[in-house]
């Protein structure tokens, strides 16, 4: 695939690849869940950009849309349920640092050796006239009903999360007691009732 690209496209894939790797590394370097979420989103958007440069438009759009929605839902749940405000308080993002570093370096070495030593196959024939349709049939052909049900379930989860986030404030569990005892004081967090 890369041999068929122009020099500018190869440079774009290389730059986006570096950005994707940097975003992935940032997930484990930053000190809060919210920052890790946005670093992961940046990494996935760079991957979507690479897919776009490789002329895989459908996969690029799906990757961008899915990852943006997933990170948005994750941010909503962090704001609702985390003990520190919106996951912005410093916290350690890595556990078993030495073990995870060893596994990461080992996996990277195996992948690099595999990339450079495996005899990659050459393409037989021509690409299909409509690769998006062929991809859709390959992915969804025998699993269409399952994918539809899963899609409805995910949509219901997003709606439920939004309803939980907006129906009451973060401090409602003890805000009612505070309001009853001192009606003119704001609830913790500075939001008056």
**Do both 84 and 29 map to the same domain?**
yes
pLDDT band at residue 170 using 50, 70 and 90 as cut-offs: low
**Whether residues 98 and 8 fall in one domain:** yes
Enclosing domain of residue 92: 1-106
pLDDT at 144: 75
Question: Does some domain include residue 119?
Answer: no
Are 19 and 53 found together in one domain?
yes
Tokens of 177: 């007691």
pLDDT mean over 48-59: 88
Establish how many alpha carbons lie within 13 A of residue 97's alpha carbon, considering only the half-sphere containing its beta carbon.
4
- Give CA–CA dist 62/64, Å, rounded: 6
Q: What is the pLDDT of residues 32-46, one digit of tens each?
A: 777 888 899 999 999
The encoded tokens of residue 167 equal 């129906």
Residue 137 DSSP one-character state: H
Q: Assess whether pLDDT exceeds 90 at residue 107.
A: yes
- Please report which confidence band the pLDDT of residue 193 belongs to, taking 50, 70 and 90 as the band edges: very low
Query: Are residue 91 and residue 135 in the same domain, yes or no?
Result: no
State mean pLDDT over 139-159.
81
156 and 101 assigned to the same domain:
no
Is 148's pLDDT higher than 60?
yes
**Are 186 and 193 contacting, i.e. CB atoms less than 8 angstroms apart?**
yes
Could you tell me the pTM of the whole model? 0.57
Same domain, 88 and 36: yes
Structural domain includes residue 122 = no
The tally of domains found in the chain comes to: 2
The structure tokens listed for 132 are 């998006």
């Amino acid at each position: 695939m890369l041999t068929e690209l122009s020099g500018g496209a190869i440079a774009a894939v290389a730059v986006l690849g570096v950005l994707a790797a940097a975003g992935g590394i940032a997930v484990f370097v930053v000190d809060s869940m919210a920052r890790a979420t946005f670093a992961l989103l940046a990494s996935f958007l760079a991957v979507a950009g690479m897919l776009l440069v490789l002329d895989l438009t459908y996969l690029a759009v799906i990757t961008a849309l899915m990852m943006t929605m997933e990170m948005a839902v994750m941010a909503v749940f962090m704001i609702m349920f985390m003990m520190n405000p919106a996951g912005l308080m410093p916290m350690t993002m890595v556990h078993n640092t030495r073990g995870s570093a060893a596994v990461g370096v080992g996996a990277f070495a195996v992948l690099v050796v595999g990339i450079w030593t495996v005899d990659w196959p050459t393409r037989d024939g021509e690409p299909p006239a409509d690769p998006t349709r062929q991809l859709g049939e390959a992915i969804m052909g025998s699993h269409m009903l399952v994918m539809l049900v899963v899609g409805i379930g995910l949509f219901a989860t997003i709606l439920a999360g939004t309803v939980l986030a907006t129906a009451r404030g973060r401090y409602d569990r003890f805000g009612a007691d505070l309001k009853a005892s001192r009606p003119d004081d704001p609830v913790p967090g500075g939001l008056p009732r």
